[in-house]
Amino acid sequence: MNFADEFEFLVKEFRHSLSSASQILSPNAEDDTIVKIAIAGFSLSSPIETWARGHFSFLKERLDGDYSTSNLAWYDSAATEIRLFCAFSFGYFLGLYQSDRLTNAEFTMAEELLPGFILLKNEVISGRV
């Protein structure tokens, strides 16, 4: 898998998906904006109806840990958008994994490459360029 291409694809889709995520209807009260953007990313690589509680739990663990608001604070005003992009990316890669198009090792690699890609593209991701 060419992760550079995958991440570039995600950057291109991110803005459009931000607006479409708000249209996602969910019976789950915990499915706030950041979860909905992850579901939007997931739907690019796997049927949306296969999003499950395990995906939510994985996402929340990452967003409450390494990708928490406080850990991304050094991005200043871009921190919120960066965090949304992280959720979107995790959703997309979870969908690839769900549909057996990504191995455990590839998923781990995508997760490890994400911070570096964000550092390189943070101005594009945050809409400053």
**Total domain count, the chain:** 1
Cβ contacts of 114 within 8 Å, gap of 6 or more: 7, 86, 89, 90
pLDDT tens for residues 27-60? Answer: 777 778 999 999 999 999 999 999 999 999 999 9
Q: For 57, phi and psi rounded to 5 degrees?
A: -65, -45
**In a domain? residue 84:** yes
Range of the domain at 69: 3-23+33-125
**In a domain? residue 100:** yes
Q: How far is CA 32 from the centre of its chain?
A: 14
Please answer whether residues 96 and 42 qualify as being in contact, where contact means their C-beta atoms are separated by less than 8 angstroms.
no
How many residues in total does the chain contain? 129
- If pLDDT is split at 50, 70 and 90, which confidence band does 24 have? confident
Q: How far apart are the first and last CA of the chain?
A: 28
**In a domain? residue 79:** yes
Residue 25 DSSP one-character state = -
Residue 28: the pLDDT is 77
**In a domain? residue 28:** no
pLDDT tens for residues 57-84? Answer: 999 999 999 999 999 999 999 999 999 9
DSSP codes joined into one string, 34-54: HHHHHHHHHHTTS-GGG--HH
What's the chain's average pLDDT?
93
Instruction: Characterise 42 by phi-psi region: left (phi > 0), alpha (psi -120 to 50), beta (else).
Output: alpha
Q: Whole-angstrom Cα distance, residue 91 to residue 58? A: 10
pLDDT at 129 exceeding the cut of 90: no
Residue 49: the pLDDT is 93
